[in-house]
Structure 1
Amino acid sequence: MAKERYIGIMSGTSLDGVDVVLCEIDASECTLVSALEYPIPLELKSDILTMIESKSTLETLGELDHRLGLLFTQAVGALLIRENIDASSIKAIGSHGQTLWHAPTGEYPFSMQLGDPNILTARTGIPVVADFRRKDVALGGQGAPFAPAFHEFIFNNIKNSIAIVNIGGMANITVLGDKLIGYDTGCGNALLDLWIAEHQAAAYDKDGAWAKTGRVDYGLLDRMMSDNYFEASYPKSTGREKFNKAWLQGHLAGATHNPEDVQRTLLEFTALSISNEVLRFNRDMVILCGGGAKNNFLVERIKALIPNIEVTLATNADEMEAMTFAWLAYKRVHHEKVNLKDVTGASDNAVLGGIYA
């Protein structure tokens, strides 16, 4: 069967941009053809964070859904124009949407992603697959993480005993073996980005340069690491509804902290929460991907905390999450179930996502 072309869109909890990829996919391979990172306007990013951190109205919610739909349309259009791609050559777009709230364990479990797929298909003329997570939640699953199923697909030819760690706004681990294991390890870049934005007016701490100027506050680190999320068994998942500004302020209360020391401690918090989970499994190698894999100081600290395990960076590390949703669109178009029940705790594997034609 000939390879089909799919576009994947990912706007993660880090809010550092919209990743758009073009992939050629068949039953055995997902090949990255081209990729683009499209900026999120500062006003839109601010409005997303405001909605997550405080109460909002139905009107604001609906408008944000529309604005994100337009943003994703612009991002896809930019890739099509830059690469001179005929839209009719694309089988479908897999759009994750922007997560606003993720609550899979409440009385009424749900996971909410915004970015109206109707706008995306109406303006591009390409079928869109979206709303991937809610079927898994309906089957009793966490609805996250989804990357482990894709990791299993693309790394199935590696013989080493490996784990894959994706560091986005949150971080997740995939452990390959007879049974697929995957779950969120905790915070990735989200608190690091939040803190430097407040104190340095920067979107992120490039290579951990600001964090390097500070010292680890071990009292603060111990308080953060004592959160009950780290004691919970998997399957489990998390997001900004947990690790957010209010959570951090709660741990900072009652003492004065140098801003650079907090940044350094937050970086150690991410490195330690990841390495602790890696050490639960007997792995020879860890492959890092996601935006956090570009933070050299963070990678350095992860390596130092797991000195007997080889740490390497994935090919296409930045594009891995967007590729996941191109592949999930392929699976949906072909009515194929996704191997996630052991990861999320769902009662069964399922065909995920809705098609907007």
Structure 2
Amino acid sequence: MAGPAGAPDGASLYVGLISGTSADGIDAALVAFDGPPTAQDDGDGAPDGRLLLGRTYPWEPALRTRLIALGQGGDARSLDELGTLDVQVATCFADAAWRLIAEAGIDAERVSAIGSHGQTVRHRPGGAAFDGRDPFSWQLGDGNVIAERSGITTVADFRRRDVAAGGHGAPLVPAFHAAMLHSRAEDRAILNLGGIANFTLLPADGPVRGFDTGPANALMDAWCQRHTGAAYDAGGAYAASGRVDDALLQRLLDDPWFAEPPPKSTGREQFHLDWVQARLAGGESPADVQATLMELSAATVARALQATQPATRRVLACGGGVHNGPLLARIAAHLPDAQVESTAAHGLDPDFVEAMAFAWLARQTLAGLPGNVASVTGARGPRVLGAVYPK
């Protein structure tokens, strides 16, 4: 079958799959790479990868509900349940890959590999917030099942090698950001507004850094669903109907995690509705709490950038939060010296940057090249990430 428009016969094709902290669907990206993989960013030049097709495929509602409950710190009912969920998630990921390939109208034999992030159900990378426990990060979605059902070589389980090397296993996307969006003309920051917010710092001259800043959409989505029944606050309208409660905002900001220096990462097990509930005085308007949670996301993003790369002149945003105009406006208000804009202005669809990154990471792994950035994760050095499941 003919490839999609813009995919010359010589291009190598990869599929990237991820379901993020919000678990709002499986993001699938078909990516074309024209040149060979490289050990490090070239600086300025042609972006290394083009999105040919991106789609988000929804979870079955009952499965999504269970995954969110586990991700927020809930206990598994049994080992049998965990084993079953591992297979169910992998089956959904394999089906997403097949649907994407079919919609693109390409022959599956042209796809070199699938890079699957899986679904995080627990992220305990160490640090003060986790009381010195043995660090780990756990993503469901058995790569054996994906490879078997898809018939395509699959790379999965990307985070745990970095954790084993003393890192946080997150963020992993900064290496891809550097390959695609670095500029020698200005200091840039790439802001991913998923369930959790994280930065990749790309100085014009200097090492790449990156870290989580705290909640982006996760708390707002959960609060909105509890009080309105909607899965998320479309366009930030619910938050815009309330007013920021300054006293509540301060209690939220007082959490010690925000004061921890990078490298740092977090997830729903740290920032969830019980965490919010414990800081309510009682009697707050639900709309005011929503407005306050939006301000928490904006303020923690801005404070983190001002503390780590204050000379930033361009913030490129991606992830679901890009569609929340009021949230972007609040971030811009906190960062008056920086231009805040979508990655779309630089040729990257903001909804599929992370999925593209896991296609890129799979390519790195198959080439025997590192996928982590040790200055970001805190690992002892560069590592080839993931496990390979041959077709």
TM range, smaller chain = over 0.9
Counterparts of 2:297 and 2:286, CA distance in 1? 17
The answer for unaligned runs of 5 or more in structure 1 is none
Is 2:25 aligned against 1:17? yes
1:267-315: CA deviation from partner (whole Å, max 9, x where unpaired): 1110111111122211111111111111111011111111121111102
| 2:162–2:372 CA contact under 8 A, matched in 1 | no
**Distance between the aligned counterparts of 2:218 and 2:207, measured in 1?**
30
Q: Distance in 2 between matches of 1:3 and 1:85?
A: 13
Q: How does 1:247-262 map to 2 (within 5 A)?
A: 247-252=275-280, 254-262=281-289
User: What amino acid is aligned across from residue 38 of structure 1 in structure 2?
Assistant: Y
TM (norm. structure 1) is 0.97
Structure 1 pair 190–210 and aligned structure 2 pair: CA distance change class (3 A): same
Other-structure match for 2:318: 289
Offset, 1:129: 0.2
Q: Which residue of 1 aligns with 2:88?
A: 67
Separation of aligned partners in 2, 1:48 and 1:96: 15
From 225, 228, 233, the equivalent of 1:205 is 233
Cα deviations across residues 193-242 of structure 1 (Å, max 9, x unaligned)? Answer: 00011111111101100110001011110011111111111001000110
- Number of aligned residue pairs: give it: 356
Paired residue type of 2:277: Q
Question: Separation in 1 of the partners of 2:151 and 2:251?
Answer: 51
Task: Look up the SS of the partner of 2:279 in the other structure.
Answer: helix
Q: For 2:278, what is the secondary structure of its paired residue?
A: helix
Quote the offset at 1:80 in angstroms.
1.5
Shift of 1:251: 1.0
Identity of aligned residues (%): 42
Identify the residue that residue 313 of structure 1 maps to in structure 2: 342
Cα displacement (A) at 1:81: 1.6
Q: 1:270 aligns with which of 297, 304, 325?
A: 297
Q: Distance in 1 between matches of 2:278 and 2:87?
A: 34
Whether the 8 Å CA contact 2:372–2:385 is kept in 1: the answer is: no
Match of 2:386 among 350, 353, 357: 353
Gaps of 5+ in 2: 1-8, 38-46, 127-131
Query: Corresponding residue for 1:302?
Result: 331
- For residue 264 of structure 2, the aligned residue among 227, 236, 240 is 236
Instruction: Determine if the alignment matches structure 1 residue 216 to structure 2 residue 244.
Output: yes
Aligned equivalent of 2:135, options 109, 116, 124: 109
**Whole-angstrom distance in 2 between the partners of 1:338 and 1:54:** 31
Q: CA deviation at 1:49?
A: 2.1
Distance (Å, rounded) in 2 between the aligned partners of 1:329 and 1:312: 28
In the TM superposition, what is the alpha-carbon distance from 1:12 to its structure 2 partner? 0.1
TM-score, normalising length from structure 2? 0.89
For residue 252 of structure 2, what is the amino acid of its counterpart? Answer: M
Give the residue type in structure 1 aligned to 2:99.
A
Q: Does 1:55 align with 2:75?
A: yes
1:54: Cα distance to partner?
2.2
**Aligned counterpart for 2:190 among listed residues 142, 148, 164:** 164
> Counterpart of 2:266 in 1: which secondary structure?
coil
- Secondary structure of the 2:384 match is coil
**2: CA distance between counterparts of 1:356 and 1:229?**
37
Deviation at residue 51 of structure 1 after TM alignment:
2.4
Deviations 1:26-81 (A, max 9, x none): 33611111111101111111111222342221111111111101111121121122
Report the Cα distance in structure 1 between the residues aligned to 2:313 and 2:217, rounded to whole angstroms.
Answer: 25
Equivalent-residue separation in structure 1 for 2:184 and 2:11 (angstroms): 22
Question: Where does 1:142-161 land on structure 2 (aligned, <5 Å)?
Answer: 142-157=168-183, 159-161=185-187
Closer/same/farther in 2, CA of residues 265 and 108 from structure 1, 3 Å limit:
same
- Give the AA of the match of 1:256: G
- What amino acid is aligned across from residue 190 of structure 2 in structure 1? I
Q: What does residue 109 of structure 2 align with? A: 88
Bigger mean CA offset, 124-133 vs 154-163: 154-163
Q: Which stretches of structure 1, 4 residues or longer, exceed 3 Å deviation after superposition? A: none
Give the residue type in structure 1 aligned to 2:28: V
How much is the aligned-residue C-alpha RMSD, in angstroms? 1.3
Structure 2 counterpart SS, 1:194: helix
Aligned with 2:366 (options 312, 323, 333): 333
Q: CA deviation at 1:107?
A: 2.9
- The secondary structure found in structure 1 opposite 2:86 is helix
Cα deviation for residue 99 of structure 1 reads 0.3
